[in-house]
Amino acid sequence: VRVLLTSDRVKRQLVAVASGKGGVGKSTVAANLAIALARAGRKVGLIDADIYGPSQPKLMNVEGSKPQARQKTLIPVPTPYGVPLLSMGQLVAADQAIAWRGPMAAGALAQLAEADWGACDTLVIDLPPGTGDVQLTMIQKYRPTGAVIVSTPQDLSLIDARRAIDLFAKAGVPVIGIVENMAGYACPHCGEISDPFGSGGAEAAARELGLPFLGRIPLDIAIRTASDAGEPPAAGTGPHGAAFTGIATRVAA
Protein backbone atom coordinates (compact mmCIF):
# COMPACT_ATOMS: atom_id res chain seq x y z
CA VAL A 1 0.00 0.00 0.00
CA ARG A 2 1.41 3.35 -0.99
CA VAL A 3 -0.06 6.76 -0.42
CA LEU A 4 -0.04 10.02 -2.24
CA LEU A 5 0.56 12.46 0.55
CA THR A 6 1.21 15.84 -0.97
CA SER A 7 0.81 17.61 -4.26
CA ASP A 8 4.44 17.00 -5.21
CA ARG A 9 3.39 13.51 -6.35
CA VAL A 10 6.02 11.61 -4.45
CA LYS A 11 4.65 8.25 -3.37
CA ARG A 12 5.61 7.73 0.23
CA GLN A 13 5.61 4.89 2.66
CA LEU A 14 4.18 5.94 5.99
CA VAL A 15 5.47 3.84 8.87
CA ALA A 16 3.60 4.54 12.12
CA VAL A 17 5.44 3.66 15.34
CA ALA A 18 2.94 3.01 18.12
CA SER A 19 2.68 1.62 21.64
CA GLY A 20 -0.09 0.82 24.05
CA LYS A 21 1.36 2.98 26.79
CA GLY A 22 4.01 5.62 27.41
CA GLY A 23 7.57 5.11 28.54
CA VAL A 24 8.22 1.85 26.69
CA GLY A 25 10.76 3.41 24.30
CA LYS A 26 8.50 4.11 21.33
CA SER A 27 10.21 7.44 20.55
CA THR A 28 13.64 5.86 20.95
CA VAL A 29 12.71 3.11 18.51
CA ALA A 30 11.14 5.60 16.05
CA ALA A 31 14.27 7.79 15.97
CA ASN A 32 16.66 4.87 15.57
CA LEU A 33 14.45 3.14 13.00
CA ALA A 34 14.35 6.35 10.93
CA ILE A 35 18.15 6.67 11.06
CA ALA A 36 18.70 2.96 10.29
CA LEU A 37 16.35 3.15 7.28
CA ALA A 38 18.21 6.25 6.04
CA ARG A 39 21.55 4.47 6.43
CA ALA A 40 20.09 1.62 4.34
CA GLY A 41 19.54 4.08 1.51
CA ARG A 42 16.00 5.34 1.98
CA LYS A 43 15.16 9.03 1.95
CA VAL A 44 13.52 9.24 5.36
CA GLY A 45 11.62 11.97 7.16
CA LEU A 46 10.52 11.81 10.80
CA ILE A 47 7.22 13.10 12.16
CA ASP A 48 6.99 13.47 15.93
CA ALA A 49 3.25 13.36 16.56
CA ASP A 50 3.56 12.52 20.26
CA ILE A 51 1.63 15.42 21.79
CA TYR A 52 2.18 14.11 25.32
CA GLY A 53 5.95 14.15 25.14
CA PRO A 54 7.48 15.32 21.87
CA SER A 55 11.03 14.10 22.40
CA GLN A 56 12.35 13.85 18.84
CA PRO A 57 14.00 17.31 18.70
CA LYS A 58 16.15 16.21 21.65
CA LEU A 59 16.80 12.70 20.33
CA MET A 60 17.75 14.04 16.89
CA ASN A 61 19.94 16.79 18.33
CA VAL A 62 17.96 19.79 17.04
CA GLU A 63 16.39 20.98 20.27
CA GLY A 64 15.20 24.58 20.05
CA SER A 65 15.19 24.80 16.26
CA LYS A 66 11.94 25.98 14.68
CA PRO A 67 10.76 25.00 11.20
CA GLN A 68 10.41 27.69 8.55
CA ALA A 69 7.20 27.92 6.53
CA ARG A 70 6.64 28.64 2.85
CA GLN A 71 3.08 29.75 2.07
CA LYS A 72 1.85 28.13 5.28
CA THR A 73 3.57 24.84 4.38
CA LEU A 74 6.15 23.82 6.98
CA ILE A 75 9.66 22.97 5.92
CA PRO A 76 11.13 20.10 7.97
CA VAL A 77 14.22 20.86 10.06
CA PRO A 78 17.41 19.12 8.90
CA THR A 79 19.11 16.95 11.54
CA PRO A 80 22.73 15.73 11.84
CA TYR A 81 21.53 12.24 10.89
CA GLY A 82 20.21 13.04 7.41
CA VAL A 83 16.61 12.64 8.55
CA PRO A 84 14.56 15.85 8.36
CA LEU A 85 12.19 16.28 11.29
CA LEU A 86 8.96 17.98 12.23
CA SER A 87 7.67 17.73 15.78
CA MET A 88 4.55 18.75 17.67
CA GLY A 89 7.08 20.16 20.12
CA GLN A 90 8.21 22.67 17.48
CA LEU A 91 4.66 23.95 17.00
CA VAL A 92 3.90 24.61 20.64
CA ALA A 93 5.54 24.34 24.04
CA ALA A 94 5.35 20.74 25.24
CA ASP A 95 3.43 21.57 28.39
CA GLN A 96 0.74 23.25 26.28
CA ALA A 97 0.36 20.45 23.77
CA ILE A 98 -0.95 17.95 26.30
CA ALA A 99 -3.96 20.24 26.94
CA TRP A 100 -4.94 20.21 23.26
CA ARG A 101 -8.38 19.00 22.34
CA GLY A 102 -8.89 16.47 19.56
CA PRO A 103 -9.48 18.94 16.69
CA MET A 104 -6.40 20.97 17.62
CA ALA A 105 -4.20 17.90 17.73
CA ALA A 106 -5.67 16.73 14.40
CA GLY A 107 -4.95 20.15 12.88
CA ALA A 108 -1.38 20.07 14.12
CA LEU A 109 -0.92 16.55 12.72
CA ALA A 110 -2.13 17.81 9.32
CA GLN A 111 0.52 20.56 9.39
CA LEU A 112 3.22 17.98 10.02
CA ALA A 113 1.95 15.36 7.56
CA GLU A 114 1.29 17.86 4.76
CA ALA A 115 4.61 19.65 5.13
CA ASP A 116 7.16 20.01 2.36
CA TRP A 117 8.73 16.54 2.65
CA GLY A 118 10.46 16.99 -0.67
CA ALA A 119 12.14 13.84 -1.94
CA CYS A 120 11.45 11.73 1.17
CA ASP A 121 10.19 8.28 0.16
CA THR A 122 9.52 7.11 3.72
CA LEU A 123 8.03 8.95 6.68
CA VAL A 124 8.41 7.43 10.13
CA ILE A 125 5.70 8.71 12.46
CA ASP A 126 6.18 8.66 16.22
CA LEU A 127 2.57 8.45 17.44
CA PRO A 128 1.40 9.30 20.96
CA PRO A 129 0.94 6.23 23.20
CA GLY A 130 -2.49 4.62 23.30
CA THR A 131 -5.45 4.84 20.96
CA GLY A 132 -6.61 8.47 20.89
CA ASP A 133 -7.51 11.22 18.41
CA VAL A 134 -4.07 11.57 16.80
CA GLN A 135 -3.94 7.84 16.03
CA LEU A 136 -7.47 7.89 14.58
CA THR A 137 -6.73 10.92 12.40
CA MET A 138 -3.49 9.35 11.26
CA ILE A 139 -5.27 6.12 10.32
CA GLN A 140 -8.34 7.64 8.68
CA LYS A 141 -6.80 10.61 6.89
CA TYR A 142 -3.32 9.41 5.97
CA ARG A 143 -3.65 5.61 5.80
CA PRO A 144 -0.21 4.47 7.05
CA THR A 145 1.51 1.79 5.00
CA GLY A 146 1.99 -0.15 8.21
CA ALA A 147 2.48 0.07 11.96
CA VAL A 148 5.40 -0.96 14.14
CA ILE A 149 4.31 -1.75 17.71
CA VAL A 150 6.79 -1.21 20.55
CA SER A 151 6.32 -3.02 23.85
CA THR A 152 8.34 -3.93 26.89
CA PRO A 153 8.26 -7.64 27.78
CA GLN A 154 5.95 -7.51 30.80
CA ASP A 155 2.29 -8.43 30.68
CA LEU A 156 0.82 -5.00 31.39
CA SER A 157 2.64 -3.38 28.52
CA LEU A 158 1.66 -6.26 26.24
CA ILE A 159 -2.01 -6.02 27.17
CA ASP A 160 -1.93 -2.35 26.15
CA ALA A 161 0.04 -3.18 23.01
CA ARG A 162 -2.72 -5.57 21.98
CA ARG A 163 -5.22 -2.71 22.11
CA ALA A 164 -3.03 -0.66 19.79
CA ILE A 165 -2.64 -3.65 17.46
CA ASP A 166 -6.40 -4.07 17.47
CA LEU A 167 -6.91 -0.42 16.47
CA PHE A 168 -4.71 -0.78 13.39
CA ALA A 169 -6.01 -4.22 12.48
CA LYS A 170 -9.66 -3.08 12.62
CA ALA A 171 -8.80 -0.09 10.41
CA GLY A 172 -7.10 -2.34 7.87
CA VAL A 173 -3.61 -0.93 8.52
CA PRO A 174 -1.13 -3.84 8.38
CA VAL A 175 0.88 -4.35 11.56
CA ILE A 176 4.47 -4.73 10.30
CA GLY A 177 5.49 -6.36 13.56
CA ILE A 178 6.43 -5.99 17.23
CA VAL A 179 9.67 -4.65 18.74
CA GLU A 180 10.56 -5.76 22.27
CA ASN A 181 12.35 -2.95 24.09
CA MET A 182 14.02 -2.97 27.53
CA ALA A 183 14.42 -6.72 27.29
CA GLY A 184 17.08 -7.95 29.73
CA TYR A 185 19.44 -5.71 31.67
CA ALA A 186 23.21 -5.95 31.42
CA CYS A 187 24.81 -4.77 34.67
CA PRO A 188 27.38 -2.11 33.70
CA HIS A 189 29.62 -3.25 36.59
CA CYS A 190 29.67 -7.04 36.45
CA GLY A 191 28.02 -7.72 33.10
CA GLU A 192 25.49 -10.06 34.64
CA ILE A 193 22.25 -10.18 32.65
CA SER A 194 19.07 -9.84 34.67
CA ASP A 195 15.50 -9.54 33.49
CA PRO A 196 13.73 -6.77 35.45
CA PHE A 197 10.70 -7.01 33.15
CA GLY A 198 11.35 -10.55 31.96
CA SER A 199 12.10 -11.03 28.29
CA GLY A 200 10.60 -12.87 25.35
CA GLY A 201 7.06 -11.76 26.23
CA ALA A 202 6.69 -9.63 23.11
CA GLU A 203 8.09 -12.35 20.88
CA ALA A 204 5.64 -14.85 22.36
CA ALA A 205 2.79 -12.36 21.90
CA ALA A 206 3.82 -11.77 18.27
CA ARG A 207 3.80 -15.52 17.63
CA GLU A 208 0.42 -15.89 19.28
CA LEU A 209 -1.04 -13.03 17.23
CA GLY A 210 0.57 -14.27 14.01
CA LEU A 211 2.63 -11.08 13.65
CA PRO A 212 6.31 -10.78 12.73
CA PHE A 213 8.75 -10.24 15.59
CA LEU A 214 11.06 -7.43 14.48
CA GLY A 215 13.74 -7.63 17.16
CA ARG A 216 14.78 -6.98 20.73
CA ILE A 217 16.63 -4.07 22.31
CA PRO A 218 18.10 -4.60 25.81
CA LEU A 219 17.68 -2.20 28.71
CA ASP A 220 21.04 -0.45 28.72
CA ILE A 221 22.01 2.78 30.44
CA ALA A 222 24.15 3.56 27.39
CA ILE A 223 20.98 3.84 25.29
CA ARG A 224 19.47 6.38 27.66
CA THR A 225 22.62 8.48 27.99
CA ALA A 226 23.23 8.45 24.21
CA SER A 227 19.59 9.39 23.62
CA ASP A 228 19.77 12.22 26.14
CA ALA A 229 22.90 13.49 24.39
CA GLY A 230 21.16 13.52 21.00
CA GLU A 231 23.32 10.69 19.68
CA PRO A 232 20.98 7.83 18.74
CA PRO A 233 22.75 4.43 18.80
CA ALA A 234 21.61 3.69 15.23
CA ALA A 235 23.92 6.46 14.03
CA GLY A 236 26.94 4.83 15.69
CA THR A 237 28.87 1.62 15.29
CA GLY A 238 28.03 -0.08 18.60
CA PRO A 239 26.05 -3.30 19.14
CA HIS A 240 22.75 -1.47 19.59
CA GLY A 241 23.23 0.16 16.21
CA ALA A 242 23.35 -3.31 14.70
CA ALA A 243 20.16 -4.28 16.52
CA PHE A 244 18.34 -1.26 15.06
CA THR A 245 19.75 -2.05 11.60
CA GLY A 246 18.24 -5.53 11.92
CA ILE A 247 14.87 -4.08 12.87
CA ALA A 248 15.01 -1.63 9.93
CA THR A 249 15.85 -4.44 7.51
CA ARG A 250 12.77 -6.36 8.65
CA VAL A 251 10.58 -3.24 8.44
CA ALA A 252 11.80 -2.45 4.92
CA ALA A 253 11.33 -6.02 3.68
Based on CB atoms, which residue is closest to ligand ADP, 63 or 121?
63
Based on CB atoms, which residue is closest to ligand ADP, 38 or 150?
150
Going through 42-111 in order, the beta strands assigned E by DSSP cover 44-48, 68-70, 73-75, 85-87
Based on CB atoms, which residue is closest to ligand ADP, 10 or 222?
222
Based on CB atoms, which residue is closest to ligand ADP, 50 or 116?
50
d(CA 142, CA 12): 11
Please measure the distance between the N-terminal and C-terminal CA atoms of the chain and give it in whole angstroms: 13
With vertex at residue 245, the alpha carbon angle to CA 243 and CA 247, rounded to the nearest 5 degrees, is 75
Amino acid at 133: D
Applying CB under 6 A, among 163, 224, 229, 239 the residue interacting with ligand ADP is: 224
With vertex at residue 4, the alpha carbon angle to CA 43 and CA 250, rounded to the nearest 5 degrees, is 45
Ligand-binding annotation for 27, yes or no, is yes
- Rounded alpha-carbon distances, angstroms, from residue 92 to 33, 46, 47, 108, 114: 25, 17, 15, 10, 17
CB of 41 to ligand ADP, least distance (A): 25
86 scored as a contact of ligand ADP (CB under 6 A)? no
Where helices occur in 77-196 by DSSP H, the ranges are 88-91, 94-97, 102-113, 133-137, 155-170
Ligand-binding annotation for 58, yes or no, is no
- Rounded alpha-carbon distances, angstroms, from residue 40 to 10, 175, 242: 19, 21, 12
Ligand-binding annotation for 141, yes or no, is no
Element (H, E) at 203: helix 201-209
22 scored as a contact of ligand ADP (CB under 6 A)? yes
Site for ligand ADP in 99-118 (CB under 6 A): none
Applying CB under 6 A, among 138, 220, 234, 247 the residue interacting with ligand ADP is: 220
Site for ligand ADP in 152-211 (CB under 6 A): 181-182
Ligand-binding annotation for 22, yes or no, is yes
d(CA 154, CA 176): 21
Based on CB atoms, which residue is closest to ligand ADP, 26 or 43?
26
* Binding residues with ligand ADP: total (CB under 6 A): 18
CB of 151 to ligand ADP, least distance (A): 10
217 scored as a contact of ligand ADP (CB under 6 A)? yes
Other C-beta atoms lying within 10 Å of the C-beta of residue 183: 23
24 scored as a contact of ligand ADP (CB under 6 A)? yes
Known binding-site positions = 20-27
| Site residues for ligand ADP per CB under 6 A | 19, 22-28, 53, 55, 181-182, 217, 219-220, 223-224, 227
Q: Which residues are annotated as a binding site for ATP?
A: 20-27
